[in-house]
Amino acid sequence: MTVLFDGFQLGELALPNRVVMAPMTRVRAAAGGLATPSMATYYAQRATAGLIVSEGVQPSLVGQSNPGTPGLYTDEQIASWRPVTAAVHTNGGRIFAQLMHGGRVSHPDTTGFQPVGPSAVPAVGDVFTPNGPRPAPMPRALATEEVAEHVESYARAARGAVEAGFDGVELHGANGYLISQFLSSNANLRTDRYGGSVANRIRFAVEAVSATVEAVGAARTGIRLSPGGTFWGVEESGIPQLYAALLAELARLDLAYIHLEGTTDEEVLVGLRRAWPGTLIMNPSLPMGPKQVERADADHWLGLGAELISFGRAFISNPDLVERLRLGLPIAPVDDAAYYQGGDEGYLTFPTYQHTVPETRLP
C-alpha cells in the first residue's frame, strides 16, 4: 500500500515524500516581473514538500495575465530567480517553475498589448489589472504563422528556468489560459490546423510540450491539465476523447509527469489515470472551490493509482504542511484576503505548528 510519506523517484529527483505544493499565484513579484528575497523565503519555508511547483511565471510579456506576477523571459528575471531556487535547495527541497501564458486572460493595462488567443472570443468575467478589475477585453486571434512564436516562448522560458536553477518546468495547460483555450471548443473557433477536430485542438499543447522537451529534456518537463474545467468561460466538448487523444500524444514524449485537477467526474479522471503510462500528480479538489485537499483525499487517490498528490491553499497558511499531515496535527485555516494583497503579511507570517508541553505540577 502506497503511503503519502513514502519516497518517490521522479526522473533524477529523489522525492522524500509524495506531497506536492501546487502552483498558486501570490502576486508578490517586483517591478519588471522580478522575483524577490521574500519569494525566496516563502518557497524555502515550504521545502519539506516532495516537490514545489512555483506560481505561474509568464514566458513573455504578452503572456502575462495578472499584474505583480514574475517572468522568465529576460536576463534580469532569470537572475532574480537564482536566490529563490538556491534557498529551496539549501533547505533540501526541489522546485519546478510553472510556465503560464495567459492568452486571452489579460489586459492592455497590465501588458501594454492587446491579449492574444486562438480566436477573437473574450474570456468571461473581469480580469485583474493595475487599475482594479476590468471586463476581459477582446483578444486578437493569432495568425497561423504566429502560433510557432508562442509555442517557442515556453521553450525559451524553460531554458531560462533551468539556467535560474529550477529542477524542471510545468506547462500550465489548465484553468482557461492559453493552452486550455486551444483545447476548448468555444474559445477556439479556428478553421486551420489548430482548430476544429480533436487532433487539431490538441496540436498547440503537443507542440508546446514537444518544444519544451527539446529545450530542457523530458525528465524536466510536466504539464498541468483541468479536464472539463470551465474557468474564464472555456468549454470542452468530448472531454474523455479530447484528453485521451492528448495523453496518447504526450505519452510519446516520456514526460516527468502530468498534473490533473479534480475538474470532472472521478470516473473520467480514473480513465485518464489508466491511459497515462507515466507519473500522475493528482490535485483532488476544484481550484478555488469550497473544499481544500485533505489527507483522506490524498489517500483515496493514492489508492486509485496516483503517484503524487498536490495540495494548494493548505500550503499558504501551513509552511510545515508535510509534518502536520504526517503527525495528524491541526491544519491552520487560510486567510482568503491574504492571497493577492501583496507584502509579507499573509505571506511570510504563517508559523509552523507550536507544540506545547503540558504543565507539570510539583507534589
> Residue 332: helix, strand or coil by DSSP?
coil
Helix pair angle (75-90, 37-45), 10° resolution = 30
Q: Cβ(236)–Cβ(227) under 8 Å?
A: yes
Residue 194 annotated in active site: no
Q: Whole-angstrom Cα distance, residue 70 to residue 172?
A: 14
CB atoms within 10 A of CB 355: 7
CB atoms within 10 A of CB 359: 5
Q: Whole-angstrom Cα distance, residue 42 to residue 48?
A: 12
Q: Cβ(343)–Cβ(42) under 8 Å?
A: no
Q: How far is CA 332 from CA 148, 314, 317, 353, in A?
A: 45, 8, 6, 9
Give me the DSSP letters along 115-166: -EESSS-PPSSEEP-TTS-EEPPPPEEPPGGGHHHHHHHHHHHHHHHHHTT-
> Cα 342 from chain centroid?
20
Q: Check 43, 177, 257, 347 and give the catalytic one.
A: 177
The neighbouring-strand residues paired with 57 are: 99
Question: What residues are annotated to the active site?
Answer: 177
